[in-house]
Amino acid sequence: MEKAIIGGTGVYDAGSISEKRLVNTKYGEVEVDILNINGEEIVFLARHGKEHSVPPHLINYRANIMALKQLGIKYIYATVAVGSCNENYEPGDIVIIKDFIDFTKLRPMTFFEGKDEPVKHVDMSEPYCKKLREKFYLTARDIGLDIKGEAVYVCTEGPRFETQYEIKMYKNLEGDVVGMTNVPEVVLAKELGICYGVVGIITNWCTGIKGEIAIHDIQGALEKSKAKITEGFIKVFSS
Ligand code: HPA
């Protein structure tokens, strides 16, 4: 198996499951679904667990990425739910993430810890796989999924939302969207040499941009786009 989808908030399956599998890693056990798409097996992993029971700061990112590596995965497409601090990207819009700014604080964020592991500094000049980004753009056009543009993702520690002044700062730093999960996920994939791309689903305006964060809007925005996005991932994978 070479291809995997990581589903974020609101995306807990991608249809046609042929098998569930538990993968044991040195960081913990991970449950994945194996999908059978036109005879090819694609792995699906729900980032927060199937019941959305794991908050962003407690996700076992290392176990998740190591489990995919152990299954032989070379390409990952993921979804993330994000707030927008860029007026050009509205709730309901879809963006492709092109870079990140990391404001996490407490997470195990590397496989390379010294001691038994080598000291290694992984290159971050292109954290998101260019090939996967471009392929998804083209496929999205084919299936009528409107991609609003590329976005810089700010990762916060969560699980709280941000203050108004934090959002002002992220905006000043040229962040476009804010979420709580893409770091260290993308970094760990890069450390293991897995090609990783991610699509952001804008679920709300960030704090202080336009009124309050409304949770029903978050669910509505996800409902509208998740099927089309996973359809796009599967289409790219099977092309
Ligand atoms: N902030 C941080 N994470 C998020 C948000 C937000 O506004 N919306 C969805 N995930």
Could you tell me what percent of the chain has a pLDDT over 90? 68
Give the tokens for residue 179. Answer: 């979420």
Residues with CB under 6 A from ligand 1: 81-83, 156, 161-162, 178-180, 203-204, 206, 213
Look up residue 38 and give its DSSP letter: T
> How far, in Å, from the CA of 204 to the mean position of ligand 1?
7
Q: Which atom of ligand 1 is nearest to the CA of 84?
A: 7
Question: Could you tell me the pLDDT band of residue 207, with boundaries at 50, 70 and 90?
Answer: very high
ipTM tops 0.95: yes
pLDDT single digits (tens) 13-56: 666 777 899 999 999 999 999 998 878 899 999 998 777 688 99
Residue whose token pair is 């971050």 = 124
Instruction: Return the bridge partners of 205, or none.
Output: 84
The amino acid at residue 106 is L
Give the model's pLDDT for residue 216.
59
Give the tokens for residue 43. Answer: 């792995």
216 is in an annotated binding site: no
Ligand 1: which residue has its CA nearest to atom 5?
Answer: 83
CB count in 10 Å sphere of residue 66: 21
